[in-house]
Structure 1
Amino acid sequence: MEFLVVAIVVLVAVSVFRYFRQRTYLKVLTEDQFREGYRKAQLIDVREPQEFDKGHILGARNIPVTQMKQRLIEMRKDKPVYLYCQSGSRSARAAQLLHKKGYEDINQLKGGFKKWTGKIKSK
């Protein structure tokens, strides 16, 4: 029982640490803030291709988080990166990877695509 309590406390501490560290390099933007800047940035949808085809933000490129390491060459470090996924967890993972690779201006859509009310495109 004691071990379980210690394990839970450690897990919570690690999660809290990651959350606060992530806030130092990832800007979480409301839809209005996101809309203000994404046209001058690299707009990346990190969902899988079949999700992207069902509907995505107009002008977005699809680079799934599962392929991001191999496709970093497609992204510039000198331009802001605007990320989104369905709800926000995959784009947070993508942001962590980009941060480790030296990207600095990383932004995320709060609530993800499911909260987006702007223009979309689908196949």
Structure 2
Amino acid sequence: MTTPTFEHLNVTTLADWLEAARPLTLVDIRDPASFAAGHLPDSQHLDNDGVPALLAEADRRQPLVVVCYHGNSSQQAAAWLAGQGFEEVYSLDGGFSDWSARYPERVAEGAPGGG
């Protein structure tokens, strides 16, 4: 039996997917204040309290992209989520810091929602 795993995703590919309106689930695991200050459009804040809802509600056949600050913590979260039955899990390389540097016009603001 193979161990569930995740793949790395660069911000350029994610931008292309979002532009093409590819169905996917975006979760941001940064702290609530950082999320509120700026996040990827249509992403939902995910913390330990929100995990049960994500597991209950998300389509596990749809790609799931995990975002953190720099692309490090998201790898652990992505590996764990892959083990929860999500078929296609990605960790965003460079994280939100790379996204916001390359696409400052594509940063949403507001309090954490979703989850």
Give yes or no for the alignment of 1:27 onto 2:7: yes
Question: How many percent identity over aligned positions?
Answer: 24
* Deviation for aligned residue 1:30: 1.4
Q: Which of the pair is proportionally richer in helix?
A: 1
Match for residue 52 of structure 2? 70
Kindly report the root-mean-square deviation, in angstroms, between the aligned alpha carbons of the 2 structures: 2.1
- The TM-score, its normalising length taken from structure 1, stands at 0.71
- The TM-score, its normalising length taken from structure 2, stands at 0.75
Between the two structures, name the one with larger relative contact order (CA 8 Å, sep ≥ 6).
2
Give yes or no for the alignment of 1:89 onto 2:76: no
* Deviation for aligned residue 1:31: 1.1
Q: Distance in 2 between matches of 1:51 and 1:91?
A: 15
* Deviation for aligned residue 1:108: 1.7
Q: What are structure 1's unaligned runs of at least 5 residues?
A: 1-20
Q: Distance in 1 between matches of 2:42 and 2:95?
A: 16
